[in-house]
Amino acid sequence: EREEPVAGGDLYISLDVNLQNYAVQACKKVKKEKKAKQVSMILMNPQNGEIYAMVNNPEFDLNHPYELNSETDAARGTEEYQNLLNKMWRNQCINDTYEPGSTFKIVTATAALEKGVVSLSDSFYCRGSLTVGGRTIRCHKTSGHGSQTFAQTLMNSCNPAFITWGSRVGAEDFFAYMKKLGLLEKTGVDLPGE
């Protein structure tokens, strides 16, 4: 059903062309350097939910939406080709799910530094995994990072290091730091469930 435009009814978007261009470049660079199948990025204002940039790489040409952005032997009109089109059209930023563990690591590092259970001069030895409560949690580098500085554990997003720091902080204090950082408050963004 089409709604006719109403004079004076304006549309405002929060996308920033400069940030969008930067995000596109960054995603292309990361995809190439990490030899990733796909890279997605969202830049948003956490205070009000405005989206400044959103990128999926690989992307597709909106002027030619029925041309795949990857090579295939599937013939046009087949179910396989249609499935590939559907996958290409899907916006991974808003349709796919992910574990937010790595995005929360900054909270763990902040709490550990603030409480003094780790310092900038500390080092950590990563063997590739750590067992907690009978469950083995692996680092993305399963062979382990070996000895690394605090800064390197941040750059490497090393799971065993963050688990160690989080356990040093303790559950009760970790919860207190979450509260201190405003993570237990509503965002003020009008979203379902807020």
Residue 46: both structure tokens together: 């956490």
**Cis link prior to 100 (omega < 30° from 0)?**
no
3-state DSSP helix/strand/coil % of the chain, to nearest 5:
40, 15, 45
Report cis status (omega within 30 of 0) of the bond before 58.
Answer: yes
* Catalytic residue annotation: 102
What's the count of helices (H) and strands (E) in the chain, helices before strands? 7, 6
What gap in Å lies between CA 91 and CA 35, rounded to an integer?
20
